[in-house]
Amino acid sequence: MFEIRKRVEISAAHKLNLDYESKCTAIHGHNWIIDIYLRSESLNHNGMIMDFSEIKQKVITPLDHQFLNEVLPFNPTAELLAKYVCDVLQPFCFRVDVQESENNTASYIK
């Protein structure tokens, strides 16, 4: 079994649509640190699960310096962002950790 981890960072704004009062319902931004884990029993013809630059392109390009509420079809919580990133990198992704601040990290594990 082969496994890789890629860490990317995006700067993006969002606001949360919540059914309770919270300062997070106002537009605000984060420097999100995203750890992406891929696994495969075999490698492609180049000897990789997926090129690190391809991972970066699939995750950073659509999200970096964006207002996430306008580019994602869901309430952009850290949890749902982690699932989105994992879904984009199928069939190899099995875990994504999304850190929106030093003490706040959400994970999606497939």
In order along its 110 residues, the chain shows pLDDT tens digits of: 999 999 999 999 999 999 999 998 999 999 999 999 999 999 999 999 999 999 999 999 999 999 999 999 999 999 999 999 999 999 999 999 999 999 999 999 99
* CA dist list (Å): 19 to 51, 77, 103, 104: 41, 14, 23, 21
Question: By residue range, what is the domain housing residue 99?
Answer: 2-109
The per-residue pLDDT for 72 is: 97
Pairing of strands 28-40, 93-101: antiparallel
- pTM comes to 0.94
The per-residue pLDDT for 97 is: 98
CA-based nearest residue to 32, from 77, 93, 87, 91? 77
The per-residue pLDDT for 39 is: 98
The per-residue pLDDT for 80 is: 98
Distance CA 101, CA 110 (A): 23
Distance CA 3, CA 25 (A): 37
Distance CA 99, CA 31 (A): 8
The answer to whether 59 and 83 have CB atoms below 8 angstroms apart is no
The per-residue pLDDT for 38 is: 98
The per-residue pLDDT for 44 is: 97
Distance CA 64, CA 71 (A): 11
CATH of the domain at 39: 3.30.479.10
The answer to whether 66 and 27 have CB atoms below 8 angstroms apart is no
Provide the number of structural domains found in the chain.
1
